[in-house]
């Protein structure tokens, strides 16, 4: 008898070994290697027609006809923005997020919108029965005849139903529940996720069907399973937000057909997710005017300027080492800016606790928010408020200089549209364009100049 070959696969990173080891050499985690049967890498049989059995041949790149990829737009403009204009046919998209954040609700709404356009849509749920999916659809007010629901976890049965229905859009909820019979490991393991995703990718590419798959996340917030899963798909979308707050943020971490800097904002209502077309007003509607430690910055999220509030609380420490806590900002960046304020401006912050937060749950990672963070820290330390109609934009260097930022025109136009009267920005950004008439633009070259203008001594 032929001996069946086995291998040991890490359930965290996908590292493969011929023998068991207590510690994985790939990710340095303990007791993550699991014994699995090795799957033969034969050619196999294609389920769908139109696939060459003899293999494809290389062609010259100059002989390939270039054309703009058509997209399928949805009724949610924020969703279209994150994807780069709409759903690309034949694309494989991974959607991740915390449990209960609204991933299934978002995809069910998208499925219903496409089904209302007389497009056959197949919604495959491995976690809910068709009756449970129907209850959620009734709550969302979904009544589309072209929307088909399938409760199945066997990949072979799923591919058979896709072949029969021939949908224009497919949702897999979730990939961790799907299994392939040829793979002996349990559903959700590295081997099952890798093989199932590879089969779904072949279906999407050969039949030009867009497939959206839902992925679970770990405690650290990353998508569960091997990192190979994110490399296989065309786009990776993260659905962020607090379950106890109504606002949700959809970000594109990877996108082969568009920008990865775009952000879509939704509000969770009883009847489903509703898009927020003007997020700046939402983030600033509860702002306390005239409070020390509060500043407003115009940040760019892809092609969209967003005005958000940065809050800082500086208080004397009760311990030997002062605390530095930041929500929505890079902790190391905050420590760097506090060191610049102490060295270049003379603020004694070494015995002060610092707590910083970006209101609204937004995460800011661009350098243009440096000046607003520094101003908010100085405002709270001096207990002097900034003017409520001021906007602060600029990157802060280690020598205390204010460096230029990108897209200053769009940032200032957004500030003027929301009624702000004054913008403090880098001096080098003032050349080559004309500011709006209803807003005053002041250029500064150092942090000290910005503090003299924006915060009272």
Q: Which pLDDT score, from 0 to 100, does residue 54 have? A: 52
Model confidence band, residue 194 (pLDDT cutoffs 50, 70, 90): confident
Average pLDDT, stretch 199-220? 89
User: Is the model's pLDDT at 43 over the cut of 70?
Assistant: no
Report the alpha-carbon distance of residue 439 to residue 16 in Å, rounded.
Answer: 61
Q: Which pLDDT score, from 0 to 100, does residue 338 have? A: 96
User: Is the model's pLDDT at 221 over the cut of 70?
Assistant: no
99 annotated ligand-binding residue = yes
Q: Which pLDDT score, from 0 to 100, does residue 227 have? A: 65
Q: Up-side HSE of residue 181: CA atoms within 13 Å toward CB?
A: 6
Question: Residue 145: exposed, middle, or buried by beta-carbon count in 10 A (0-12, 13-18, 19+)?
Answer: exposed
* 313: CB partners within 8 A, 6+ apart: 293, 354, 355, 356, 380
Give the pTM.
0.76
Q: Which pLDDT score, from 0 to 100, does residue 59 have? A: 87
* 179: CB partners within 8 A, 6+ apart: 153, 154, 155, 186, 187, 192, 196
Average pLDDT, stretch 83-106? 92
Angle at 429 between CA 423 and CA 433, to 5 degrees: 90
Q: Which residue has the tokens 């998508």?
A: 223
Of the two residues 450 and 61, the one the predictor is more confident about is 450
Nearest-CA neighbor of 93 among 198, 236, 260, 223? 236
* Token pair in block for residue 342: 């102490």
103 annotated ligand-binding residue = yes
Report the alpha-carbon distance of residue 387 to residue 442 in Å, rounded.
Answer: 14
Q: Which pLDDT score, from 0 to 100, does residue 2 have? A: 47
Q: Indicate the range of 30-39, 56-65, 82-91, 316-325 predicted with least confidence.
A: 30-39
* Token pair in block for residue 132: 């449970």
Report the alpha-carbon distance of residue 259 to residue 407 in Å, rounded.
Answer: 16
Nearest-CA neighbor of 92 among 205, 195, 227, 193? 205
Q: Which pLDDT score, from 0 to 100, does residue 311 have? A: 95
Task: Report CA-CA distances (Å) from 437 to 299, 353, 389.
Answer: 21, 41, 15
User: Is the model's pLDDT at 273 over the cut of 60?
Assistant: yes
Average pLDDT, stretch 327-347? 94
Q: Which pLDDT score, from 0 to 100, does residue 336 have? A: 95
104 annotated ligand-binding residue = yes
Q: Which pLDDT score, from 0 to 100, does residue 226 have? A: 57
Average pLDDT, stretch 261-268? 86
Q: Which pLDDT score, from 0 to 100, does residue 133 have? A: 93
* Token pair in block for residue 423: 């913008």
Q: Which pLDDT score, from 0 to 100, does residue 193 have? A: 87
Report the alpha-carbon distance of residue 2 to residue 451 in Å, rounded.
Answer: 78
Q: Which pLDDT score, from 0 to 100, does residue 45 have? A: 47
157 annotated ligand-binding residue = no
Q: Which pLDDT score, from 0 to 100, does residue 217 have? A: 77
Q: Indicate the range of 270-274, 354-358, 395-399, 449-453 predicted with least confidence.
A: 270-274
97 annotated ligand-binding residue = yes
């Amino acid at each position: 008898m032929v001996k069946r070959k086995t291998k040991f696969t890490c359930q965290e990173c996908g590292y493969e070994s011929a023998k068991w080891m207590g510690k994985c050499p790939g990710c340095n985690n303990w007791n993550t290697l699991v014994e699995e049967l090795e799957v033969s890498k034969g050619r196999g049989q294609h389920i769908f027609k139109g696939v060459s059995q003899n293999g494809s041949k290389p062609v010259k790149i100059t002989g390939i006809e270039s054309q703009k990829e058509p997209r399928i737009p949805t009724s949610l403009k924020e969703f279209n923005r994150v994807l780069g204009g709409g759903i690309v046919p034949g694309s494989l998209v991974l959607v991740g997020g915390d449990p209960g954040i609204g991933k299934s609700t978002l995809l069910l709404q998208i499925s219903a919108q496409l089904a209302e356009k007389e497009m056959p849509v197949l919604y495959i749920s491995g976690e809910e029965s068709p009756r449970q999916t129907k209850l959620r659809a009734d709550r969302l007010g979904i009544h589309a005849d072209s929307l088909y629901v399938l409760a199945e976890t066997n990949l072979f049965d799923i591919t058979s139903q896709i072949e029969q229905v021939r949908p224009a859009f497919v949702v897999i909820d979730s990939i961790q529940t799907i299994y392939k019979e040829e793979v002996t490991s349990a559903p959700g393991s590295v081997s099952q996720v890798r093989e199932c995703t590879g089969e779904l990718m072949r279906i999407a590419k050969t039949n030009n069907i867009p497939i959206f798959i839902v992925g679970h996340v770990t405690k650290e917030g990353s998508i569960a399973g091997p990192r190979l899963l994110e490399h296989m798909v065309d786009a990776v979308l993260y659905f962020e937000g607090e379950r106890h707050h109504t606002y949700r943020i959809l970000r594109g971490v990877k996108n082969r057909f568009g920008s990865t800097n775009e952000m879509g904002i939704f509000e969770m209502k009883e009847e489903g997710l509703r898009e927020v077309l003007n997020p700046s007003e939402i983030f600033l509607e509860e702002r306390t005017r005239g409070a020390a430690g509060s500043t407003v910055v115009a940040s760019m999220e892809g092609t969209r300027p967003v005005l958000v509030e940065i809050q800082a609380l500086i208080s004397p420490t009760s311990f030997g080492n002062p605390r530095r806590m930041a929500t929505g900002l890079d902790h190391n960046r905050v420590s760097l800016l506090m060191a610049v304020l102490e060295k270049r401006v003379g603020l004694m912050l070494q015995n002060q606790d610092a707590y910083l937060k970006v209101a609204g749950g937004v995460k800011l990672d661009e350098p243009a928010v440096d000046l607003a963070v520094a101003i908010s820290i100085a405002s709270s330390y001096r207990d002097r408020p900034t003017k409520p109609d001021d906007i602060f934009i600029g990157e802060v260097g280690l020598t205390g200089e204010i460096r230029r930022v990108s897209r200053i025109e769009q940032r200032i136009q957004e500030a003027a549209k929301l009624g702000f009267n004054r913008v403090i920005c880098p001096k080098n950004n003032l050349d080559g364009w004309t500011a709006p008439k209803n807003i005053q633009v002041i250029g500064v070259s150092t942090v000290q100049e910005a503090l003299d203008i924006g915060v009272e001594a």
